[in-house]
Structures are given as C-alpha cells and as structure tokens.
Amino acid sequence: MRKLARYLKGSVWVIVLVLALLCLQAACDLALPGYTSRIVTEGIQQKGVESILPERMRAQTFEDLKLFLDEEGTALLEESYLPQADADEYRLEKLSGQERQELSERLGTAEVLVYLFSNPEALAGMGMSSAASDGTAVPQLSLEMLRHLPALLRRPMIEKIQEQVAQIPDSILTQTGIAFVQNEYEQLGEDLAKRQTAFLLGTGARMLGLALVAMLCTILVSFLASRLAAGTAYKIRSDVYRKVMSFGSQEFHEFSTASLITRSTNDIQQVQMLLVMGLRMVLYAPILGIGGILKVMGTNSSMSWIIALAVGLLLLLILVLFAVAMPRFTKLQSLIDRLNLVTREQLTGVMVTRAFSAEKHEEERFEKANLDLTRTNLFVNRCMTFMMPVMMLIMNGISVLIVYTGAHAVDAGTLQVGDMMAFIQYAMQIIMSFLMIALMSIIIPRANVAANRIAQVLEKEAAIREPENPVTPPGDVHGEVSFEHVSFAYPDAGENVLTDISFTAHQGETVAIIGSTGSGKSTLINLIPRLYDVTQGSVKVDGVDVRDYRKADLCAKLGYVPQKSILFSGTIASNIRYGNKNASDEEMQLVAQIAQAQEFIEEKDSGYDSRIAQGGTNVSGGQKQRLSIARAIASDPEILIFDDSFSALDFKTDAALRRALHEHTRDVTTIIVAQRISTILHADRILVLDEGKLAGTGTHKDLMESCEVYRQIAVSQLSGEELAG
C-alpha cells in the first residue's frame, strides 16, 4: 500500500478535513451517552434539578446553612448568595466553573445536614445518631433545637454527625443534597414538574442537535471519501493504462492479458473501496475508541476492567482471523486472474471449441477455475461470518457483565443508574470501534494484495524506452530501411532467433521475405517498429537507428499491417481513419479502392458508416485484412510493412491489390512477409530465411538458380508452367 501512497499527496487537505469532521462526529457521538445519563439521573430521578447549589433559597435556610459551616465557608456562602430586596430570599450569583466547584464542596455537607435535621425520619433512616461526643443521647434532635442551643453544645453534636456523614457514599450524599434543593424549591412555590419537563425537552433538543451534526459530518465524510477514492482510482487507472501502453512484447509475456485486465479493474476497485472505507472507519475507529475509553475512565473507573477484558478479547479475535484469512486473500487475486484467463480463452476460441466438439473439456476447465475461486471465497467469507456472531456475543456478554456489576454498585450507593447506562453506551461505542477495525481486516489484506499487484505493473520498466536524446533523420533520405548485422534472441531464450542479418531496402523498392514456419520472418519485421530491440547490430530507418527515434516519429514513417488483422469497435470509416484522423472522404475511398475493400463496403446499407463489432467479428477474414491494409495506407507512410497480410485473400484479389499498391505507392518502400510464392513473385528483391539466417537474396529468377531453400518452397507451391514463366 505504501507504494501507492504518492497518489494521495495532492489530497492531504481532504484527509485533514475528513479527520476534522470525524473528530467532530466522534465528539457528538461521545456526548450522547452523557446526555442520556443526565436524562435518567437529573431529568427523571432529580426532577430537573441539575446541581446541589440552589439558584434560590429562603433567608431562613441561608441562616441554617451557616450553623454547619466554618468561618471560611460562611464567608464564601455570603459572597455567592445575595439577598433580594423584594423577597425574603437569596439568589446565587453568576460563578465560574471553578467557583461553583469550590462552593459545592463547602456547601454539600451543610446542605445534607440541614436536610437531615429538617427531616428526623431521614436522619434515623440513614442510621445516624445525634448523640453528643461524651455519649449523652439527645433524642429527636431537630433543626429548631439546634438553632437555640449554645455553640459550645451544638458544635460537638454537629462534628459527631459530620463524622458519620463522611462515611456515607458520595452518590447518596449527592442525592440528599438534590433532595435539599428540591425541598427548597417546593417551599419557594416552584413547580418541579414544569422544571422537569423543561429539562427533559431541553436536553432532548440538544441530543437531537448533536445527532444532526453527527449525521451531517457522516454525509460530508462519505462524500469527500468517495470523491477522493474515485479520483485516486482514476489516477491509478490512467497510470496503469499508460504504463501498459508503453509495454513491449517482452512485458506482455510477463503479464498475461487477463492479469492486466484484472489489475486494471478488480484490483483498482479493491484499492478504491479501501480508501472509502478506510477514511470512514480506519480513521474514525481509533478516535471513537480512545474517546470512549477516556469517557469511561471519567464515568466509573471501578468497572474499567470490563472494557479492558472486552478489548483484549476483540484484539485476540481479530489477530486470529487475520492470521488465518490473510494467505487466502493473496491466493484469491491469482484465482481471479486464472478465471479471467480461462473465460477469455474460451470466449475468443468458441468457434474452435465447437468445431472440435470440446465443450465438455472447456466446461471442466472453467468449472475447476470457478470452483477453486468459489472455495477460497467461501473460506474467507466463513471466517468473516464466524467473526460477526463472536463479536455480538462479546458485545452482549459485556452488556450483561456491566449491568450485573453496575447493579451491585447502584445498590451500594456508589453508582447512579444514569451513569451505568452511560457506561454501557460507552462500552458499546468502544466495541463498535473494534468492530469497525475487524470489518476493515476483511478489506485491508485483499486491498494490500491488489495494491502490490498494481505496483508491480507501475514499477515495471519497459524494455523499449524513448531515447534520452532523440535524433531527427536527414531530410534527403525517405523510406530506406537498413539491417546491419542484426541478431536477436527473445528474453531468457537459449539461442538466437535471427543471426547476422544484413540488407537494405531503398525508397520505392518492394522487398519480400519468405521462409519456412519458424524461420524468423515476423520477428525480423517486428524489429523495424521496435516491437523488440535487436540483441546485436542495428536497424536503421532513413539512416538513423530506430532506437534513436522518438516512437511517435518512427511510427509516423511506418504503415504496419500485422499478421493477425485487428479491427476496433466503431464504423468502417473510423477504422480506416485510425492512423489518419484528418483523412478526407475522397482519401478514405481511394485507400479502400487500393485495398480492394470498396466493393464490399458499398454493398453494405450504411456504406462507410456501417458498424464494426468488437474485434471485427461481423466481417470475414479477407474483409478484415483489406480494411487493415486500407488503414495502413491511409496514414500516408514512407514504409509499408505487411506481415503475411494477404493470406486470407483469393488469388484474384491478391493480384489486384498488389497491382493497385504498385500503381499508387511507387515512392513507398514495401516490405512483405508472405507464405505464398505467388504474392512475392514480382518483388524487386526476395530475402530467404532459414533457421534465422539469411539463406539467399535476389529476384525470383536468381533465387531459383542459387538458393536451394527457395527452390524447394517454389516447387512445392507452383506448377511447372509457373516455374518456367
């Protein structure tokens, strides 16, 4: 994957923006459990009272609080609450968070004591005694009695009760303080039901707002991730295409066509999917998980071991699945290649298959490739299918464990019900973050394999490269082809295919190449357009080594008709104009006439606008060859190369085509590879190849006298009259 990271350099700002949006989304998601806790604790249990600090209190309550405060506490109370001129009450001033925290710590115990002494039943219900420090019991001690007791008697009693209050759990003290505030509001005539409703609606509205912000972040992240992934895939696909188009025959032997198709489509799709899901999950999972852990630590650290247990189990599960499934992901891509290869071969050769009644054999080949791919896919999918139930089991088990442990804490008064609910939600968010990572463990290995396969193509250096210092040929030479002591061997081959070939084809000459099958005829002419580079010697066009040409400049001089005629989907006109987009209708008709294609074109209903199917499957082999020849002539080349391009033509059409070529392309150098002697009988020069070596050169008459190899070929093809003529 690192090898493809360079494609993301221009999109760093998008990734930063996505990261910021994910942080905002995580903040919203992590805030929701806190609001749920507040709804349960403050909204339902506390009837909308949020703090133990009352916003308003009666003057008598203000004085009672002083009974249980020291001098510093009393001073802080008097600074924080100011008397109201129009009512017998005190109101809380606006305080900072730190000031409110300090006031709560000072006032909390005093509020509890005021509430307990105002409610003797609550005092007794909490198991506390109002006995003095010397053990003397004071039955039914009330707040009214404390007000009138001398300070010397009151202080020991209060200190004794304060010691007992200090042993009460904080959550119970907080709830008692809330009860104090509720009682105070009721005494002031405030409607607690209305306060509760307002709190629930306000908190619910804030939760809805957070959910909407999180949803908006999700939409924006999905949009940005999709655009980034699609743009990156476009760049990779374009580079792969350009790289493949720069490959020569040597590289195509290394990468099969089926494999290159898979790498350009399926593999890039895997990388694109990883980018989309990665930006959405891989970045979000750690943010949510770490944030959830921090929230849990702040909620109730006594149950943090449950989260640690869940995380440990999830990591163990992910590692096991990763170790088991990873090797299969590597195998999966090669199996897709294999299936594509078999399918492509069968579709291309369907007529041959039917001709030899080999459908059963091909079905077995396809079934084997398909079954191998299916089995591997099933194994991977079963591993992932096994993962989901185990994940859900862990998630539900953790929920039960939290409820079980939390229930005991609630019963002991060390945990609020709302906090337990928030803890469960945080735990689920943490588990969900690991679930995202687990889901990515399905995509990452496969995408990693795909990325490596793509990188192999992009990093492959083409054997045939553009020259660093291209040479421009002199303007006084046109159409000259020269082979100087050329030898060639295919990569990794043990011996030469061509050995020490030398000849020169001058402008306007027709040079024919003939020889037995495998003698190197096609290889020889493939060296001219640099489909291969020579092993030794040099091939020159117009006096310049073809390796010193820009490829575009070299191709502009050549008109090449391959051994296997290939047409592209489109129209007859678009195929003829393939080498010359600016060819006029008159020029197109002329080259069609030269190639003996005009007759069958005009017979079609749409003429030159008739559709050509992919690969030219809706025209015959001879028609395909003639259109290929017309395409080569239309490019107005200096050199025409025919690689056994007349084999599908009948003798009459062959003769007419060669006659038309001779009339209309007198200044064009023509190099013809042929199997039939009749095609090259009147060539200016014939080269005879035998086992990669030049066995003879000359005219037909000369070779019949001097070259035994040529004479044997001629005798096998021509009648006595033709030989004599």
Residue 585: give its domain's CATH number: 3.40.50.300
Please check whether residues 571 and 490 belong to one and the same domain.
Answer: yes
pLDDT of residue 217: 94
Please check whether residues 101 and 145 belong to one and the same domain.
Answer: yes
Better pLDDT: 126 or 114: 114
pLDDT band at 119 (very low <50, low <70, confident <90, very high): confident
| CA distance linking residue 233 with residue 618, whole number of Å | 34
Question: Model's pTM, two decimal places?
Answer: 0.72
Angle at 612 between CA 245 and CA 627, to 5 degrees: 80
Angle between helices 192-246 and 12-38 (to 10 degrees): 160
Is the pLDDT reported for residue 138 higher than 50? no
- Residue 390: inside a domain, yes or no? yes
pLDDT in tens, 1-49: 677 778 888 788 998 999 999 999 999 999 998 888 888 888 888 888 8
- Residue 426: inside a domain, yes or no? yes
Better pLDDT: 127 or 687: 687
Highest mean pLDDT among 379-393, 532-546, 710-724 belongs to 532-546
pLDDT of residue 226: 92
Is the pLDDT reported for residue 626 higher than 50? yes
| CA distance linking residue 349 with residue 346, whole number of Å | 5
pLDDT band at 208 (very low <50, low <70, confident <90, very high): very high
pLDDT band at 126 (very low <50, low <70, confident <90, very high): low
- Residue 465: inside a domain, yes or no? no
pLDDT of residue 665: 81
- Residue 466: inside a domain, yes or no? no
Whole-number Cα distances in Å, 524 to 153, 293, 354, 501 = 121, 71, 35, 9
Please check whether residues 486 and 586 belong to one and the same domain.
Answer: yes
Please check whether residues 438 and 317 belong to one and the same domain.
Answer: yes
Better pLDDT: 520 or 412: 520
- Residue 59: inside a domain, yes or no? yes
Q: Which residues contact 352 (CB under 8 A, 6 or more apart)?
A: 358
Please check whether residues 80 and 116 belong to one and the same domain.
Answer: yes
Looking at 144, 174, 199, the residue that finishes a domain is: 199
Please check whether residues 490 and 357 belong to one and the same domain.
Answer: no
Contact 326, 445 (CB under 8 A): yes
Q: What is the mean pLDDT of residues 174-190?
A: 86
Is the pLDDT reported for residue 149 higher than 80? no
Which residues partner with 612 through β-bridges?
A: 570
pLDDT of residue 215: 95
Please check whether residues 139 and 169 belong to one and the same domain.
Answer: yes
pLDDT of residue 725: 52
Is the pLDDT reported for residue 107 higher than 80? yes
pLDDT of residue 1: 62
pLDDT of residue 141: 62
pLDDT of residue 267: 86
Q: Which two tokens stand for residue 113?
A: 């004591």
- Residue 61: inside a domain, yes or no? yes
> What's the structural domain count of the chain?
3
- Return mean pLDDT, the chain: 83
pLDDT band at 719 (very low <50, low <70, confident <90, very high): low
Contact 288, 431 (CB under 8 A): no
Helices and strands per DSSP (H, E), number in the chain = 28, 15
Residue type at position 555: C
pLDDT of residue 720: 65
Q: What is the mean pLDDT of residues 41-70?
A: 86
The enclosing domain of 431 has a CATH number of: 1.20.1560.10
Looking at 199, 222, 256, the residue that finishes a domain is: 199
Looking at 427, 459, 491, the residue that finishes a domain is: 459
pLDDT of residue 133: 44
pLDDT of residue 423: 83
pLDDT of residue 135: 46
Q: What is the mean pLDDT of residues 372-377?
A: 87
Q: What is the mean pLDDT of residues 335-359?
A: 80
pLDDT of residue 722: 60
Q: Which residues contact 347 (CB under 8 A, 6 or more apart)?
A: none
Please check whether residues 367 and 495 belong to one and the same domain.
Answer: no
Please check whether residues 370 and 333 belong to one and the same domain.
Answer: yes
Q: Is 276 left (phi over 0), alpha (psi -120 to 50) or beta?
A: alpha
Please check whether residues 544 and 603 belong to one and the same domain.
Answer: yes
| CA distance linking residue 346 with residue 365, whole number of Å | 10
pLDDT of residue 721: 62
Residue 581 DSSP class: T
Burial of 344 (0-12, 13-18, 19+ CB in 10 A): middle
Contact 545, 720 (CB under 8 A): no
CB-CB neighbours of 60 under 10 Å: 13
Q: What is the mean pLDDT of residues 482-492?
A: 88
Is the pLDDT reported for residue 134 higher than 70? no
- Residue 230: inside a domain, yes or no? no
Residue span of the structural domain in which 97 resides: 38-199
Please check whether residues 492 and 454 belong to one and the same domain.
Answer: no
pLDDT in tens, 256-303: 777 788 888 888 998 898 889 888 888 888 888 888 888 877 766 677
Please check whether residues 513 and 397 belong to one and the same domain.
Answer: no
- Residue 265: inside a domain, yes or no? yes
| CA distance linking residue 72 with residue 621, whole number of Å | 107
pLDDT of residue 142: 67
